[in-house]
Chain A
Amino acid sequence: MLRVLRDLLRYDGRFRFAFILLAAVVVMFLLSFVSPDDPNKTFVVAMDAPPSLDHLFGTNSRGQDIFWWLTFAVRNSLIMGVITAVISRVIAIIVGLTAGYQGGWLDRVLMSVNDSFVIMPLLPILILLGFLLRDMMNLFLLGVILGFFGWPYDARLIRSQVLSLKERSFTRTAVYSGTNGFWITINEHLPFVLPVVFATTINNLLWSIGTEVTLSVLGLSDLTTPSLGTALFWANQHGALVAGVWWWIAAPALVAIILFLGLYLFFASINEYIDPRTRLRLIGA
């Protein structure tokens, strides 16, 4: 693991950049634990102060320091993203392994439903859900809901991996030696699929945090909890741009860009590293 990190840091410029961006995100995450301000309290500092040394990202019209507030937003958005990722990973692995290993009509039905979720516009459905659950919505629940919608794309990917593994000789050896199909899937296939699962996790984090932003902007999340989405919601709510408090919008946008770009480049770099073709070149086959 450390060797992989070292290799990537040394030879992949994109990974280095991603590493720096993600380090900044992690620092913000950690800083939230030592924040001098409570994000739920308003009017603790001067209102509408532009960015300065005292207030790195300025202050907002609710009298909050935007930087410290955003440290909580980053923490909450990430935690929510991880909840989504974990749930959707479990579903994607189960669906992908089952469809890939069983094949036949089960595969066809699962993939047909799967593709329906890939093709369908999910946002209107999520808006409908968010609308109906508005009164009880919190970040945890949102993470769970997104988890139930975020698996189809990755399930298809895992399935295609299993399909190619099924053709390898070790699977046949296991089948002929009488190993139970379920155990072949768990013992023999899962380890090969895990790197893919890891890479898609990052992509899934991106999707879930991005969707949270979208739903929050529409007012369909728990607006009292700091998150990247609610940051933008409150800025809009107070007409930040019209009032000239542009940093209130710009700061969360900047943090979001750093987070998204960092995660995406990290994903792209890892994805190339685990690509079988790259691995083949590495061992020189």
Chain B
Amino acid sequence: MESSSILDSLGVEIIGVMAPVSICMFLVVLLTYSLSVTSDSQIRTAANLIYIENPSDSATVKLEGSLANAIVFVVLVAAVTFVLVLLFYYNFTNFLKHYMRFSAFFVLGTMGGAIFLSIIQHFSIPVDSITCFILLFNFTILGTLSVFSGGIPIVLRQCYMVVMGIVVAAWFTKLPEWTTWFILVALALYDLVAVLAPGGPLKLLVELASSRDEELPAMVYEARPTVSGHQGRNRGSSLRVLVGGGGVSDSGSVELQAVGNHVANQQGRGNSHNLDYNAVAVRDIDSVDGDGNGNGDGVSRSPHERHFASAVSSEHSTEVRVRGNNEIRETETDEEMSPLVELMGWGDNNREEARGLEESDNNVDSLNRGIKLGLGDFIFYSVLVGRAAMYDLMTVYACYLAIISGLGCTLILLSVYNRALPALPISIMLGVVFYFLTRLLMEPFVVGMTTNLMMF
């Protein structure tokens, strides 16, 4: 352990976010490539309410129309976000969660269904309608369940987040070209304002959530370490120390943030419907912890090192001994973990006990959180790449690299500033700039070179 180089452990968190984004973009590109022939029809969404682009329109008409589209779309998004903040402010959390489940169901069922149908048609897969319906229904239900419930393995939730990103992004790539670009840029700007400006809706939402210690009622990808949880956590924090110069850091997030320290009381509300999942959660965490201990990583670390780890990062876990039942669970322990200690103190009292224990599991769970990325970021990154895919592969690569490096920059900034940051602006701006540079400058250059078999 001591002799392993620091290179093994650096940047796990960043890759943990970049990998799903890359997968999402890759699949969207594949989808647009394979399906672009069949589905050329215009779609009608909130994104082109005002103006429907016609290839024969003049540039000014297109410009004005798509600008209007973008403005309307952003205003709609802003309005919806404000409604969300209001609902959250007045504690309609359950309503929000159910609404999110409903929309997940809707997205997976209809949009996903449409995409599956076109895949089936395009590759002429022999499947009868009943089977297809049952498969789709099961798929959708599982996705709906995975959105906000604790009992689902995190891997599954991550997969479904990626799937939803793909589905929505594939849908958005059907928008006309100019509108797409304007909407992307407008959204990037909106994101900047909404997260950073005082009074921005997303900023309000994040602050509200962290002041109440609640989970954000929103679609968020959590790059929580899945298998070797403890290792991953320590690795992740190490990068932050490296970049951020050793500041104390909470579990950070991009754009949408939920800070890890849940206080028990706050979760009491609405927990009744979670109870049946919690049983599953316990087992699930058990197995994860088993892996972690099996690796012997956290256990064998020397005390002073552990102390250091807890000093630099307030992500931590505790040794939780579940009395009441016969099972004894152990997770790795760090020093600085007051909320959980308190919680265990209360746990002995009264009928709170059962719930308290389960919540402690939730807490252990939630403390492990890493970086979070809003689903919207997934979608709009993929929309950009998908749009680039309609031109050429070269632009796809350029845009992919630009977006990923923008994401990397955002993550580095995140570790410096330690607050919720918008993930769209840097990436989208870089992506758009690289797209047009590639298309206008690089393409003739490269094609001219390679068709003469010149390279360097």
Q: Do A and B bind each other?
A: no
